[in-house]
Amino acid sequence: MEIYLQILWLFLLALPIACISWTVTHEEIFHEPREYCVQRSHHGNTVFKRKFFYLFTCEYCFSHYVTVLFLFLTDYKLLINDWRGFIIAGFALVWVSNIYMNLYGLIRQDIKKEKTEIKILENKADKELLS
């Protein structure tokens, strides 16, 4: 595969990896299983159990496992067309997907801040109208 296609695949494959990782570790649909994992990661009776359950609460950690799944499904290699290409692709995909998740987190935080500021201004305007 040409290098420009490999780079294109890198940025495109990182999107579903980021989406899955973020959804499992942050969104409301997985709230109850995530809370269970948080509790088990804090109160597990062995180090292995604590680390295993922590995996489902950290988007960075979880993205490694999602990346391995996608590498298995797509047979994507980066730069080198053997097992070393898988390793390079794996770390590159994790890195790009985490950039995507950090950008998404910043955008969500900014939107939440703007909504809060708007609500404060609306409440202030309502109080002025009532006065």
Distance CA(57)–CA(63), nearest Å, equals 11
Band of the pLDDT at 128, cuts 50, 70, 90?
A: confident
- Give 86-113 pLDDT, tens digit per residue: 999 999 999 999 999 999 999 999 999 9
Residue 125 has what pLDDT? 86
Structure tokens at 126: 């309502």
Structure tokens at 47: 């180090």
pLDDT at 72 exceeding the cut of 90: yes
pLDDT at 131 exceeding the cut of 80: no
Please check whether residue 100 is in contact with residue 108, taking contact to mean a CB–CB distance below 8 angstroms: no
Global confidence as pTM? 0.82
| DSSP 8-state class, residue 30 | G
Distance of CA 128 to the CA centre of its chain: 43
Give the sign of the dihedral formed by CA 23, CA 29, CA 65, CA 80: negative
Query: Whose CA is closest to 71, among 127, 5, 13?
Result: 13
Residue with tokens 């994790």: 94
Distance CA(62)–CA(22), nearest Å, equals 9
For residue 9, CA distances in Å to 15, 26, 67, 122 come to 10, 25, 13, 46
